[in-house]
Amino acid sequence: MSRKPRLNKGLDGARNGKRPRRCSRAAHQKRCPLAERTGSRIGVFVAILLGLTRLGRAEDFSATLELSGAGGTQKTESAAGLGRHREKARPVFHAAVSEALTLRWKCSSQAAKLFENVLVHVYVAREEKLDQDDPPDLKPDRVALESAITMDFKAGDSAHASLTFRVDKPGIYLVRVEAQGVAESLPLEPFAALDMEVK
């Protein structure tokens, strides 16, 4: 039976009606580069909703990302087998400055094994151009949103969350969810990402 999720400091959530344990600050700082980055000028309201559901059996770990606003919804997904070797450009979501945006992510395990201490890391960070290959600079003044949670995934488990935020500066942003700590058992780190153009 999978252990309770361990939420990092600053996040609240529930599983089966019980409050998850918090992971240690030292462990989180070691694995999450944005753990101590706060003070962004972009207002962020975060509502975390976690759930576990049974899925069909397949040997992989997948991530799904959905971003929605006044102009519509953009969804993208990936799996460990795809990793960073993408063959096409990331999808682009268009938003207005200060528009209310909702980011929904989901990570699912269909592998017939237990993944322990998986860090699900979500962020929105400014980048230099659309479809930028290199990771964006994660300095505090360039990060619009950051969220992280540590939990276990047994066969057929999934976790999901909903984050609501606004961006007060125009520019190009990378929106990404990644599952750190899974690549030890799978070929590459599972993630899903899209670009957001704010005008």
Residue 28 within a domain: yes
Which range of 97-106, 153-162, 180-189 scores highest in mean pLDDT? It is 97-106
CATH number for position 70: 2.60.40.10
The pLDDT of residue 88 is: 78
The pLDDT of residue 189 is: 80
The pLDDT of residue 86 is: 53
Residue 1 within a domain: no
Residue 93 within a domain: yes
* CB atoms near residue 41 (< 10 Å): 9
Q: Is the pLDDT of residue 120 over 60?
A: yes
Q: How many domains does the chain have?
A: 1
Digit-coded pLDDT (tens) for 79-90: 544 444 555 789
Digit-coded pLDDT (tens) for 47-71: 444 444 333 333 478 899 999 999 8
CA nearest neighbour of 162 among 109, 98, 106: 106
Q: Domain of residue 16: give its range.
A: 6-198
Q: Is the pLDDT of residue 105 over 50?
A: yes
CA nearest neighbour of 173 among 195, 140, 143, 191: 195
Rounded CA-CA distance 185/166 in Å is 36
Strand ranges inside 128-190, DSSP E: 143-153, 158-165, 171-180
Residue 153 within a domain: yes
